[in-house]
Amino acid sequence: MRRFFAKKGKKAAVTSIEELCKEHTSLMDEDIRQICDLSRKLRMIADLSQAHVFIDCPVKNGPHAVVVAEASPSTGSSLYRKSVVGQWAYEMYEPAVARTHQTGEPTVRNRAITQEGKTVKQSVVPVKNDRGEIIGSLIMEQDISLQLRHENQLRALSHTTEQLSQTLMGMAEQGSLIPDLIQEALFLVDREGRIDYANTQALNLLAGGESQDIPVDDQLEFLRDLDYQSHEVHYEEVRWRKKTLGVKSISLRKENRRIGTLLMIRDVTELREKERQLMVKSTVIKEIHHRVKNNLQMIASLLRLQMRRAPSKEVKSIFQESLNRILSIASVHEIFSSTGLDEVEILDMMKKIGSMLVVNGRPDKEIEIAFTGKPIILPSDKAVSLALVVNELIQNSVEHAFVDRKYGRIGVHIESLGYEVRVRIWDDGYGLPSKRNEEASLGLQIVRTLAEQDLSGSFSAFPTPEGTEAIVQFPLEEG
């Protein structure tokens, strides 16, 4: 059964339930008012039932119906891309609705397919007036496409396991060499747990050789603690004789009757040991980055102490620049120490550096800094170089762009250009220094060297109508 709707008449001119009912049905005014009252509750019914809800009313002539109202759950998507209000539901496509209108009996949990190809569970309930006459029906449809896929998967799994059991039985009877080439230990056991077949790896796993009269659980005691016989497919890892074994079981069926179990046992000791070593290495790497960060912060503390004894503002400024560079590198190692990875999400890194520079740079000024762009991951070596570049450019804006001004704005934008990354840093300050001053600037020399040599990219800076803009562009990978 398919739930189809067809246009009838001039639907575009019909906008209300009253007009639809008067044009297409023989309902009396009080019946129409009852339908209107019910329509006001449709959204609540849809939310409670988590279903798309319709009100269909029988038309004047024939067993067909017209859709006069609809509602979908507010927490989910609609079953239909377009509204179906005002369209006809013909008897041949809507037998459940026609049956309810004719007999007054409900239809519950009837499966149907919508005109958009979705499988739904459909329930139809009659709507009666005070005289007991059928004046319409309430239809609730729930999308069960996902449930249907699960049912099909289960049927396919049942069919597959039945074929698998027949294939393995054939291999056991014919003495096939194929199971002996498989890395896993294969046991084919019957319903009582006795071994019908075991490949070479399985025989090596048994302590005293195969014994068909003794259940496999008694020969391999670790199987006693596994509830594998009550599952269609089950996987679990166990420790046995200083080894880690991965045990997978598949229930074998024939004509929907369980005839045995296929056990596949594999030694995963080496794999789990490598995973453990990786976890240890990750912990060690995190600890190393944590200690590097602490050491850099200790150096920064010593520089602060030395900076307080500096004889002039110029010397203090030099100390502050060095301090900021150290703290920028420390920010990168702080991210490494928290993630345990050798990669950094650079947008988050730049936010840490920029916020630190604005707070510590010029407390006498109100400088606003904004960061935009999408997250991009960089390896540690490029991240450290980029951290120093960003530090120098933002620090240059903080120190020199807003002379004799209390307010200022700095923007940082990062974007991915295929295989390259572009970082734009701009401000609304006074503009670039002269060419001579730029060549003498240690900060800009550091930026150019890092961009061209460490990042294998390019650096450019130029004046804009609002102030200054600097661009650093480099490839994500070498070559």
Dump pLDDT digits (tens) for 44-83.
888 888 888 999 999 988 889 999 999 988 876 666 777 8
3-state secondary structure of 372: strand
Specify the pLDDT at position 343.
77
Q: What is the 3-state secondary structure (H, E, C) of 5-72?
A: CECCCCHHHCCCHHHHHHHHCCCCHHHHHHHHHHHCCHHHHHHHHCCEEEEEEECCCCCCEEEEEEEC
Q: Is the pLDDT of residue 96 over 90?
A: no
Q: What percent of the chain has pLDDT over 70?
A: 80
Specify the pLDDT at position 7.
45
DSSP code, position 282: H
Asked if the domains at 2-143 and 272-475 fall in one CATH topology, the answer is no
Specify the pLDDT at position 173.
47
Q: Which CATH class is domain 2-143?
A: alpha beta
CA–CA separation, 219 vs 217, rounded Å?
Answer: 6
Specify the pLDDT at position 28.
92
Specify the pLDDT at position 4.
47
pLDDT in tens, 237-271: 988 888 899 999 888 877 777 788 888 899 888 88
Distances (CA, A) of 186 to 216, 253, 302, 329: 12, 17, 66, 55
What fold characterizes domain 149-267? Beta-Lactamase (3.30.450)
CA–CA separation, 337 vs 292, rounded Å?
Answer: 9
3-state helix, strand, coil in the chain (%, to 5): 45, 30, 30
For 329, the token pair is 């590198």
Specify the pLDDT at position 372.
93
Taken as a whole, the chain contains a residue count of 479
Of residues 225 and 137, the one with the higher pLDDT is 137
For residue 319, the Cα-to-chain-centroid distance in whole angstroms is 46
Tell me the average pLDDT across 422-428. Answer: 92
Find the DSSP H helices in 378-433.
380-400
For 226, the token pair is 């596994």
What fold characterizes domain 272-475? Heat Shock Protein 90 (3.30.565)
Q: How confident is the model at residue 210 (pLDDT cuts 50, 70, 90)?
A: low
Contacting residues for 413 by C-beta, under 8 A, at least 6 apart: 371, 372, 373, 423, 424, 425
Q: How confident is the model at residue 11 (pLDDT cuts 50, 70, 90)?
A: very low
Q: Report domain extents, the chain.
A: 2-143, 149-267, 272-475
Query: What is the pTM assigned to this prediction?
Result: 0.43
Contacting residues for 401 by C-beta, under 8 A, at least 6 apart: 408, 410, 427, 428, 429, 430, 467, 468
Task: Read off the amino acid at residue 357.
Answer: L
